[in-house]
Amino acid sequence: MSGQGGVIVFAEQESGQIHPVTYELLGKGNEIAKKLSVGLSCVLLGSKIEEEKIKELIFHGADKVFSYDHPQLDEFDPIIYKENIVNLIKDEKPEVVLFGATHLGRSLGPRVAAALSTGLTADCTGLEVDSDKNLIQIRPAFTGNIFAHIKTKTRPQMATVRYKVMEKGKRDPSRKGEIIEKEAVVKNTGLKIIERIKGSEINLAEAEIIVSCGMGIKKQEDIPMIKELADAMDGLLGSSRPLVDKKWTKKEQQVGFSGNTVKPKIYVACGISGSPQHQAGMKDSDTIIAINNDPSAPIFKIADFGIVGDIYEVVPELVKKIKQKKAKSEK
Amino acid sequence: MENSSESKNSSGLNIIAIIKQVPDMKTVKFNVEEGKVDRSSAGVEINPFDLNALEAAVQIKETLGGTVTAISMGPPQAESALQEAVVRGADKGILLTDRKFGGADTLATSYTLAKAIEKILGGNYDLIVSGEKTVDGDTGQVGPEVAEHLGIPHVAYVNCVKKCEKEKITVSSEIGNDNYIIEVKLPCLITVTKDANDPRYISFGKKARAKNIEIKKCTIDDITKDDHDKFGIKGSPTWVFKIVVPPEKAGGGKIFTGSSEEVVQKLLNEMEEIL
């Protein structure tokens, strides 16, 4: 069986859709499977799973999809999900099992690992294979200031992998794979989902452009000035932690260690000094622009472009110029 | 895992708060040669997320009655974290401290905590609360792993305890962008986020008096007789074999100074293609 000793990726669903981290896991999983000369499979749990979804997993690199379809799998129950995945791992004996480092993956992964008495490395940003075919798991530690390279003595080698770090597997609609329908094990675990409240539409993790404000803002009434820059750049407004603590901005706008980890194309930090905790959430952005009146602010160390100046003067000027430029290009 | 029916017949809930003493991450240094945190470089504190866990536990006790036991695994100095936990409303503290617990990864740590809860506390609990993660390890794995070892349900990333009753708890939990209202039968484990509550203010005087509070210390012999291989470094399947310090961005990027008009123009010139 090609599944034996292979790589298994957990296919996470969010709001009835395959979470995009799954395709990133398939991209990385494929690389690892090739180095180990084994197959790549996916495990998908849900209710009324459309075949289209399974096919997408195959198009993105899965050789096999183990599909568990049962009404009780519609919502995430850690114990039920865990039991089915543990049973599959016991049958298939994979070398490597990967989860997304999402809320769900970081809640489920540890249960699976503990049930199997195996290791689990959290929130990896890099995965490699050494010459002895062991998985090297790389994760930022110590608020992202260092990278720990970790190996696992037991099998399977398990990791949760940070979203938006790995490349997605290339989609090839001509790819063929095997669909294996599995019988789900379900039971009453004492856990009941009463209600799902849709979160706000603000989704910083997905944003391509983010303009964030920090302690350089003197009063809450000034936040629209930063929002205006975000709007002019077609981006979203972000915030450092202190402004969230003051309730001037919302928790879902917070960038940093205890908030969102973001990786936009452009990150503009307005009046943010750049504490290690803030940097942990944004330093992997493609281009970082910092505006701060203190030339010694740590944010300038990681900025690609820095403006030493007063945000109350620079930001409105920037808004004006961008608007002028836009108006020109529309003509 | 046995349901603690005894405790339910008596009044109130038996609540366990799992806490960890961590270095102050704002000041602590990393010793690159030794590949570990230089603990002498900074003060220590209770993991900030665990303060929310303690607060949640104490608030439930204040509503329903019962007891809160704070438990921690760590070096002998971690006693002060448990003393502070008592000041913050826990009834007692238990410190699991033994050289054989050292070098534990999340599997060995969670196993040690779960075994201690079974052996030392006799599995006599209704609710276990921990922080969503620690600021030093940053894995968030120990909570769910403890729940698995004990065979009880768990809810992670709880941002609000809506209601706690004798038989069940209702919480709201973040999963992705959405909030789920979840009801779970006790006994269970929850991990809480910073949004769950505001930890109470403790005066310096109270903190200063905490050092006289007695904390029970337990070693590996209080937990197990034979399976020493499941604890500490021996019981840890993962190992860090290399630490890499990323080079700082070479000299940073371009810094512009001057009038607002000038700096904005310079920036826009550089960003021409992107903006």
Closest CA to B107 of B235, B256, B220: B235
Supply the ipTM of this predicted assembly.
0.91
Q: Which amino acid is at A272?
A: I
Do A122 and A208 fall into the same domain?
no
CA dihedral B158, B132, A113, B25 (to 10 degrees): 170
Within a domain: residue A135?
yes
Residue B46 pairs in a beta bridge with: B21
Task: Establish if A317 belongs to a structural domain.
Answer: yes
Residue B251 and residue B56: Cα distance in Å, rounded?
Answer: 46
Structure token digits, residue A50: 């459309």
Q: Residues in chain B, how many? A: 275
Give the distance from CA B234 to its chain's centroid.
22
Helix (H) or strand (E) holding A253: none
Per-residue three-class SS string for chain B: CCCCHHHHHCCCEEEEEECCEEECCCCCEEECCCCEEEHHHCCEEECHHHHHHHHHHHHHHHHHCEEEEEEEECCHHHHHHHHHHHHCCCCEEEEECCHHHCCCCHHHHHHHHHHHHHHCCCCCCCEEEEECCCCCCCCCCHHHHHHHHHCCCEEEEEEEEEEECCCEEEEEEEECCEEEEEEEECCEEEEECHHHCCCCCCCHHHHHHHHHCCCEEECHHHCCCCCHHHCHHHHCCEEEEEEECCCCCCCCCEEECCCHHHHHHHHHHHHCCCC
In this structure, the answer to whether residues A123 and A33 fall within a common structural domain is: yes
Regarding whether A298 and A248 lie in a shared domain, the answer is yes
Q: Which pLDDT score, from 0 to 100, does residue B39 have?
A: 76
Name which of A38-47, B201-210, B234-243 the model is least confident about. Answer: B201-210
Choosing from A120, A147, A182, the residue where a domain stops is: A182
Q: Do A154 and A121 reside in the same domain of the chain? A: yes
Does an H or E element contain A238, and which? strand A236-239
Confidence of residue B3 (pLDDT cuts 50, 70, 90): very low
Please indicate, yes or no, if residue A198 is contained in any of the structural domains. no
* Contact residues on chain A for B25, CB-CB shorter than 8 A: 142-143, 276-277
pLDDT exceeds 50 at position B1: no
Where along chain B do its domains lie?
5-235
What token pair was written down for B220? 């590996």
Residues of chain B contacting residue A195, judged by C-beta atoms under 8 Å apart = 180-181
Which of A182, A215, A232 represents a domain boundary (last residue)? A182
**The pLDDT value given to residue B6:** 43
pLDDT at B7 over 50: no
All residues at 6 or more sequence positions from B29 whose CB lies less than 8 Å from its CB, including other chains? B37, B38, B41, B42
* Rounded distance between C-alpha atoms, residue A192 and residue B181, angstroms: 9
B153/A79 Cβ within 8 A: yes
Give the one of B136, B194, B255 whose C-beta lies nearest to A308's C-beta.
Answer: B255
How far is it, in rounded angstroms, from Cα B19 to Cα A238? 31
Give the CA radius of gyration of chain B. 22
Nearest to A241 by CA among A218, A212, A206, A201: A212
Do A162 and A224 lie in a common domain? Answer: no
C-alpha to C-alpha distance for A112 and A116, rounded to whole angstroms: 6
Measured in angstroms, the CA of A15 and the nearest CA of chain B are apart by 9
Q: Which residues pair with B24 in a beta bridge?
A: none
Q: What is the mean pLDDT of chain B?
A: 91
Model confidence at B251, in pLDDT bands (50, 70, 90)?
Answer: low
Residues whose CB is less than 8 angstroms from the CB of residue B118 and which lie 6 or more positions away in sequence, other chains included = B1, B150
Residue A222 domain flag: yes
Q: How far is A64 from chain B (nearest CA, A)?
A: 26
Share of chain B above pLDDT 90, in %: 73
- Give pLDDT tens digits for B123-166: 999 999 999 999 999 999 999 999 999 999 999 999 999 999 99
CB-count exposure of residue B240 (10 Å: 0-12, 13-18, 19+): middle
Chain B interface mutation, best of A142, A197, A310, highest count of B Cβ atoms under 10 Å: A142
Would you state the pLDDT for residue A88? 98
Average pLDDT, stretch B104-122? 97
CA gap A119, A113 in Å, rounded: 6
Per-10-residue mean pLDDT of chain A, 331 residues long, equals 77 93 98 97 97 97 98 96 98 98 97 98 97 96 86 98 93 97 97 90 85 96 95 94 93 87 93 92 91 94 93 95 85 65
B21 touches B49 (CB < 8 A): no
Same domain, A29 and A127: yes
CA dihedral of A310, A313, A318, A319, whole degrees rounded to 10: 130
pTM for this predicted structure: 0.88
Token digits of residue A146: 């260092």
| One domain, residues A178 and A208 | no
Residue A261: give its domain's CATH number.
3.40.50.1220
Q: Is the bond leading into B144 cis (omega within 30 degrees of zero)?
A: no
Which among B113, B260, B268 is the top mutation candidate for probing chain A, defined by the most A β-carbons within 10 Å of its own β-carbon? B260
Superfamily for domain range B5-235: HUPs (3.40.50.620)
* DSSP per position, A68-130: EE-GGGSS--HHHHHHHHHHHHHHH--SEEEEESSHHHHHHHHHHHHHTT--EEEEESEEEE-
Mutate to test the interface with A, among B141, B159, B233, B239 (most CBs of A within 10 A): B141
A87 and A228 inside one domain: no
Q: How would you classify the pairing of strands A96-100 and A7-11?
A: parallel
Strand order in the sheet with B13-18: A191-197, B178-185, B168-175, B154-164, B188-192, B127-131, B13-18, B66-73, B92-96, B216-218
Neighbours of B28 (CB within 10 A): 20
- Structural tokens at position A235: 């981006």
DSSP code, position A160: E
- Quote the domain boundaries for residue A17: 7-182
Kindly determine whether residue A150 and residue B238, on different chains, have CB atoms separated by under 8 Å. yes
Distance from CA of A291 to the nearest CA of B (A): 10
Chain A: residue whose CA lies nearest to B193:
A258
The CATH number for A33's domain is 3.40.50.620
Q: Tell me if A263 is assigned to some domain.
A: yes
Backbone angles phi, psi at A213, to 5 degrees: -120, 155
Whether A251 and B145 lie within 8 Å, measured CB to CB: no
Structure tokens at B253: 């990027």
Chain A residues near residue B47 by CB distance under 8 angstroms:
none
Residues of A in contact with B239 (CB under 8 A): 150-151, 153
Q: How many domains does chain A contain in total?
A: 2
Beta strands in A164-234 (DSSP E): 178-182, 191-197, 209-213
Distance from CA of residue A153 to its chain's centroid? 26
Q: Which residue of A has its CA nearest to B158?
A: A103
